[in-house]
């Protein structure tokens, strides 16, 4: 009878290791797109000050120039994958991991919202100027 308990503990340990891996990769995918964001924002504001231009269109134009189509696709895929991995990494016994998962899922949602907003602004800008 002791063998069943050991197998169950071994299975739980493997599941916890799997959840740790999902959590780690989810965090990496959720936070990685935010690493170059400060540089892009600084570059956009630098170009604004050099051109002496104002308005939402100029800001959108400066920021959307930083998001090339391949980068947008990569961000979308990584954020969706991060959200799925972080949802699957939830554990009832690990409240710190769950807290970071919720925070990272929120960040992924914010990232997706910003990407969709910039894509919409780009599409709107292209279609109103032609």
Tell me the pLDDT tens digit for each residue of 3-13: 666 666 676 77
pLDDT given at position 121? 84
Question: Residue 108 and residue 83: Cα distance in Å, rounded?
Answer: 7
Q: Which of 86-95, 101-110, 121-130 has the lowest mean pLDDT?
A: 121-130
Instruction: Give the tokens for residue 106.
Output: 């929120």
Per the model's pLDDT, the better-predicted residue between 129 and 7 turns out to be 129
Tokens 């002791």 sit on residue:
2
pLDDT given at position 41? 67
Structural domain containing residue 97? 2-129
Question: Residue 115 and residue 117: Cα distance in Å, rounded?
Answer: 5
Asked if the model's pLDDT at residue 111 lies above 60, the reply is yes
Domain count within the chain: 1
pLDDT given at position 106? 92
Nearest to 44 by CA among 60, 33, 32: 60
Read off the pLDDT band of 47 (50, 70, 90): low
pLDDT given at position 61? 61
Per the model's pLDDT, the better-predicted residue between 117 and 51 turns out to be 117
Asked if the model's pLDDT at residue 103 lies above 80, the reply is yes
Question: Residue 78 and residue 87: Cα distance in Å, rounded?
Answer: 14
- The pLDDT of 56-80, averaged and rounded, is 70
pLDDT given at position 122? 77
> Which ranges constitute the DSSP H helices of the chain?
2-31, 37-51, 56-64, 69-88, 95-129
Total length of the chain? 130
């Amino acid at each position: 009878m002791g063998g069943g308990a050991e197998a169950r503990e071994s299975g739980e340990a493997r599941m916890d290791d799997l959840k740790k891996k999902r959590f780690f990769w989810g965090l990496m995918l959720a936070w990685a797109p935010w690493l170059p964001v400060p540089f892009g924002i600084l570059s956009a504001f630098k170009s604004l000050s050099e051109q002496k231009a104002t308005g939402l269109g100029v800001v959108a134009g400066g920021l959307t120039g930083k998001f090339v189509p391949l980068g947008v696709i990569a961000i979308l895929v990584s954020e969706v994958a991060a959200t799925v991995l972080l949802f699957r990494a939830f554990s009832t016994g690990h409240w710190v991991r769950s807290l970071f998962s919720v925070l990272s899922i929120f960040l992924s949602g914010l990232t997706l919202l910003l990407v969709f907003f910039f894509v919409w602004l780009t599409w709107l800008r292209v279609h109103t100027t032609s």
